[in-house]
Structure formats: structure tokens, C-alpha cells
């Protein structure tokens, strides 16, 4: 996939301002789209949009295909007649610049349940038909997801592989009994998915009509405690007796951690997936393309070879590389779905084989400016070493903000950067990096909103390998000023990135 020259902003929807303690798909999401248009941007990149569990990580979702109910806008539910203004009268005082997930869940779920009850009691025939059509169209993942979530609500044990054996192993009699017993909860979880996708589709249409295209994020792995692993255990490397991960995903020691990163997700049984003609992966890509325009594949290198860590290990050090059938997978998806609009996250330990897989399918790779100044002129992240078919970032969700990075950079890195730039901008190091990204030959430049706002480490989205305190940052509504939009558009125009991309 070759993109025309353009730029965009990386921002997860949880970061929007909102009176409900977490960003949602309401008015501030539309205001952000307007800001993108006014500033000459053409792309909005988001993190995975699935329902999150422990740690609130969008990369550890209860489903690879479902949406996060916490992103549903209660105000839009009110506009639909499913809630009343008085339902918002006793909202707690939420933090303005961070998400308190526990507080958000405690206040938002009652609103969602009330709107579900009102829908069930008062839905018009047209609404009932739309809901029924949604449930039928999405049944290939929705039925398992809704039952899984209903069971999680009802079971005392938190993880599916610790449930009663009959339901953990999906015995038909136990499944039928659960569907009968949990009918109300199943309806609720289907309803929240219906509302999420209805609201998201409206927002995406609004964006597309204004020339803004959405880049979604697909993690290579899914959470062990997910509807996907529970419903399809045969395609994962699990202990057949206990359901625990026999081989766990992660990466070896790298820039972020001297002991590597042990993610804990079960790795795939690629042999079984091949025998099934990669059906689950085809469905996953098809579901994703229903609600985004371009897919960024997180940890792309895992499709060529993946780091597998044996059960029982506490760090990722004692893993090994195992080959994966990435070429056959992408050929199959291409055959079934057509040419894929895919970006490849090719950071970390990248081999010639990984690059060959990426280039065979013309997937643009990633360049990160924060990695550019720690070595010599051969550093692949220096702008003069870029290919045009690439995406350049000032930093990613796993990096510190550019201002935070600069304050913690070594004197040697700072000196290298100064020599490269000639002088530092009086507007701040973040604008130096924004200029470097926009002026590079890479076809696409993406700027995290934190860098556009010149924020420090306090606005960092994620600290890899840190279990808590991530994914919480939010911006204030006044941050998206007319002055900021004009300044960004001036640079975007100067460096030839104001265009109408063809997808």
C-alpha cells in the first residue's frame, strides 16, 4: 500500500475530555475531527478499541473484535431517548487530566444498564430491526463474546480457564444451560456492542466526509482471558488439561527492558490455523475493516518469527524464536479480502526476513524520531535514511513524550540532535521533532497529540512492563485551540502534506 503524502495525529478516544471521566464517542470526538480538518491533517490513529480488562490496556482485550462499552457516549444515548438528563445529576467529580477507571466503571455501567432496559422496553420497530440485523451480521463473534462476558459477570473465578470444567471446555449441555440462565445479561452485552458500533460508525462517517481517515490498531496477540481463546482454544498453544498458556508471548531484552517483555498471552498454534485456511485471522481482518480505513499491525515481526516463552517463566529472557507462516497468512487474506490497507509496526529486533515479508506486500514500516540520535549516520531512524513508503512518528504510545524524552536523553544524544538540527527552536523541542517528521520523505507523518501540545512525562500514555498507572492521560478541552490548528496547518502545508489521500 502506497499512501500519498499526508499527516495525522495519534490519539486514543479515552483521552477526550468528557464529564463522564473517560473520553467517549460524543461531542468532543466530533470536535477533534473538526480540529484535524482545520489543521490540514488527513489521518486519525487510535489504539485498539476493544473492551479492556485488568490493567486497562487496549492491548489486552476481552475480545479481538468487540468494542469497548466505556467509549459509548451517554449523551448520545440521551439524544436517542434511552437516557434522561436527570440520569446525569449525581455524577461524581472525576479527575480532569486522567482516567480513574474504577470510578468510571462504577458510574457508567449503571447508565448503560438503564439505557439497555429502556431499549428493551421502548425500542421502535425500526430500532428493533437494526439491532436484530446487527446481531445477525456480527454473530460469528458476537454470540461467543456476549455469552463469555455474561459468564464472567456470573462466575466467581475471574479467568475462563478456572471456571467449572463443563463451561470452561464449552460442553454443549452446559452452554445451552448458560444461555438460558443468562439471557438478560447476554442481551445487555449485545446491546452495548450495538450502541458502540452505531456510535462509532456515525463518527467514522463524519470523519470520512471531511477527508479524515482512521488508522486502527490490531495487536498480533489476544488476551488469554478473552472470548477468542475460550471459543477457539485449538488455535492457541494451551495446556489441554488446565487451559493455561503452554507458550507465552513476549519479546527478548530490548530498548525498553533488560529482561525483555513477558506479555503472558498464549501464542498461536499456526499449524492448526493453516489447516483452517486462517479462517479466524480472515474474520478478524474483515471485522476490523468494518470500522477503520487502515490497519496498523502491532508487533508485525511476530508474523515472520515470534518469541515464545515456556510456561512458568517469570521474565522473557529464556524464550526462543519460532518461525511463523506470515507469507501464507497474508496471501490468504489478500485472496479473500483483496489488497490490504496495512501499516507494519516493524520496531525492535528486525531481520532481513521480516523486512522481506513487509516489502513483499508493500506494507509501509515505522520510523520513530526518538530512536534516531543514539548512534551514527547509519541509524535507520534518521530522516535521511527513510524510504518514501514509511510512516514517521515523533514517538509512539510506548515512548515518553518528546519533551519528556529530551529531558532524560543523554548529553551525547542531545549533542547529536543539536548538530543535526543546527539549533533548537525557541518554540520547544517538540516543534523541532514535528518539523523533522513533516519535512521527511516518509509518505505519512503521525504526531501524538501530547507532542503537539508540548507536554512532559506526566502525559505519557504507557510505560512498557509497568503493570499499573498506564492508559490514563486525558487532555483539557481548551487545548485544541484555533491558534494551534493554524500553526500545524502552516507546517503541514509548507512540507506538502495537505492533500486528499486515496485509500
Specify the pLDDT at position 381.
Answer: 97
Mean pLDDT of the region 322-326: 98
Per-residue pLDDT at 233: 97
Q: What share of the chain has pLDDT > 90, as a percent?
A: 92
Q: What is the mean pLDDT of residues 322-333?
A: 98
Grid cell for residue 334: 489478500
Mean pLDDT of 425-435: 97
Question: What is the distance between the alpha carbons of residues 251 and 263, in angstroms, rounded to a whole number?
Answer: 8
Query: Which whole number is the average pLDDT over 26-46?
Result: 98
Asked if residue 288 lies in contact with residue 336, where contact means CB atoms within 8 angstroms, the answer is: no
Percent of the chain with pLDDT over 70: 98
Furthest-apart CA atoms within the chain: distance in Å: 72
Query: How far apart are the C-alpha atoms of 217 and 342, rounded to whole Å?
Result: 10
Per the rule left: phi > 0, alpha: psi between -120 and 50, beta: everything else, 276 is alpha
Q: What is the mean pLDDT of residues 401-405?
A: 98
In which band, very low, low, confident or very high, does the pLDDT at 499 lie, cut at 50, 70 and 90? low
Q: What is the pLDDT of residues 211-268, one digit of tens each?
A: 999 999 999 999 999 999 999 999 999 999 999 999 999 998 876 678 888 989 999 9
Active site positions, annotated: 298, 345, 398
**H or E segment and range at residue 247:** strand 247-251
Phi, psi of 472 (to 5 degrees): -105, -20
Looking at the predicted structure, is the pLDDT value of residue 404 above 60? yes
Pairwise CA distance, residues 278 & 271, whole Å? 10
- The answer to whether 200 and 281 have CB atoms below 8 angstroms apart is no
Residue 431 makes CB contacts below 8 A (sequence gap 6+) with 425, 454
Q: Give the tens place of pLDDT for each residue, 282-309.
A: 999 999 999 999 999 999 999 999 999 9
Q: How far apart are CA 11 and CA 474, in angstroms?
A: 10
d(CA 416, CA 373): 6
C-alpha span between 357 and 334 (Å, rounded): 14
Average pLDDT rounded to a whole number, residues 8-18: 98
Domain ranges of the chain: 232-363
**Residue of 11, 49, 17, 130 lying closest to 397 (CA atoms):** 11
Q: Of all residues in the chain, what percent are helix, strand and coil, respectively (each to 5)?
A: 45, 15, 40
Instruction: Say yes or no to pLDDT of 464 above 90.
Output: no
Residue 278 — left, alpha, or beta (φ > 0 → left; ψ -120 to 50 → alpha)?
left
- Which tens digit of pLDDT belongs to each residue from 145-167? 999 999 999 987 789 999 999 99
Neighbours of 273 (CB within 10 A): 22
What 3 state SS string does 384-424 have?
A: HHCCCCEEEECCCCCCCCHHHHHHHCCHHHHHHHHHHHCCC
Cell digits for 89?
445529576
The whole-number pLDDT of residue 156 equals: 79
Angle of helix 482-494 relative to helix 429-439, nearest 10 degrees, comes to 40
pLDDT digits (tens, 9 = 90+) for 88-121: 999 999 999 999 999 999 999 999 999 999 999 9
Q: Tens of pLDDT along 46-105?
A: 999 999 988 999 999 999 999 999 999 999 999 999 999 999 999 999 999 999 999 999
Amino acid at each position: 500500500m502506497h499512501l500519498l503524502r499526508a499527516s495525522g495525529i495519534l490519539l486514543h478516544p479515552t483521552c477526550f475530555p468528557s464529564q463522564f471521566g473517560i473520553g467517549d464517542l460524543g461531542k468532543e470526538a466530533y470536535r477533534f475531527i473538526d480540529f484535524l480538518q482545520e489543521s490540514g491533517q488527513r489521518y486519525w490513529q487510535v489504539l485498539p478499541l476493544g473492551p479492556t480488562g485488568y490493567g486497562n490496556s487496549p492491548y489486552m482485550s476481552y475480545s479481538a473484535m468487540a468494542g469497548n462499552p466505556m467509549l459509548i457516549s451517554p449523551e448520545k444515548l440521551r439524544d436517542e431517548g434511552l437516557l434522561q438528563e436527570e440520569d446525569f445529576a449525581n455524577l461524581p467529580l472525576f479527575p480532569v487530566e486522567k482516567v480513574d477507571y474504577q470510578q468510571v466503571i462504577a458510574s457508567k455501567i449503571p447508565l448503560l444498564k438503564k439505557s439497555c432496559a429502556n431499549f428493551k422496553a421502548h425500542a421502535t420497530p425500526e430500532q428493533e430491526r437494526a439491532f436484530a440485523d446487527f446481531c445477525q451480521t456480527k454473530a460469528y463473534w458476537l454470540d461467543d463474546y456476549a455469552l463469555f462476558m455474561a459468564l464472567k459477570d456470573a462466575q466467581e473465578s475471574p479467568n475462563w480457564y478456572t471456571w467449572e470444567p463443563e463451561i470452561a471446555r464449552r460442553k454443549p449441555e452446559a452452554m445451552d444451560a448458560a444461555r438460558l440462565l443468562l439471557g438478560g445479561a447476554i442481551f445487555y452485552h449485545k446491546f452495548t456492542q450495538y450502541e458502540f458500533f452505531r456510535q462509532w460508525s456515525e463518527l467514522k462517517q463524519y470523519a470520512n466526509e471531511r477527508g479524515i481517515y482512521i488508522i486502527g490498531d490490531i495487536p498480533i496477540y489476544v488476551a488469554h482471558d478473552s472470548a477468542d481463546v475460550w471459543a477457539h482454544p485449538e488455535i492457541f498453544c494451551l495446556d489441554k488439561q488446565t487451559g493455561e498458556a503452554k507458550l507465552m508471548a513476549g519479546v527478548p531484552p530490548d530498548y525498553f527492558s533488560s529482561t525483555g517483555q513477558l506479555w503472558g498471552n498464549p501464542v498461536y498454534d499456526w499449524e492448526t490455523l493453516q489447516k483452517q485456511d486462517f479462517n479466524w485471522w480472515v474474520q478478524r481482518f474483515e471485522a476490523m475493516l468494518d470500522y477503520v480505513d487502515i490497519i496498523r499491525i502491532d508487533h508485525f515481526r511476530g508474523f515472520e518469527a515470534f518469541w515464545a516463552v515456556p510456561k512458568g517463566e517469570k521474565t522473557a529472557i529464556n524464550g526462543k524464536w519460532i518461525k511463523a507462516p506470515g507469507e501464507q497468512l497474508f496471501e490468504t487474506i489478500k485472496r479473500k479480502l483483496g489488497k490490504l490497507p496495512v501499516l507494519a509496526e516493524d520496531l525492535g529486533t528486525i531481520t532481513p526476513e521480516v523486512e522481506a515479508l513487509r516489502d513483499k506486500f508493500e506494507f509501509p514500516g515505522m520510523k520513530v524520531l526518538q530512536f534516531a540520535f543514539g548512534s551514527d549516520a547509519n541509524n535507520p531512524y534518521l530522516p535521511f535514511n527513510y524510504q518514501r513508503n514509511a510512516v514517521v512518528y515523533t514517538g509512539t504510545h510506548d515512548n515518553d513524550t518528546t519533551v519528556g524524552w529530551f529531558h532524560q536523553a543523554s548529553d551525547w544524544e542531545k549533542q547529536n540532535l543539536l548538530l543535526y538540527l543546527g539549533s533548537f527552536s525557541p518554540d520547544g523541542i517538540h516543534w523541532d521533532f514535528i518539523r523533522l517528521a513533516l519535512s521527511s520523505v516518509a509518505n505519512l507523518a503521525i504526531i501524538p497529540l501530547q507532542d503537539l501540545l508540548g507536554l512532559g512525562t506526566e502525559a505519557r500514555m504507557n510505560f512498557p512492563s509497568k503493570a499499573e498507572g498506564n492508559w490514563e492521560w486525558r487532555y483539557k478541552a481548551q487545548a485544541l485551540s484555533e491558534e494551534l490548528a493554524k500553526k500545524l496547518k502552516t507546517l503541514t502545508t509548507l512540507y506538502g502534506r495537505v492533500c486528499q489521500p486515496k485509500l
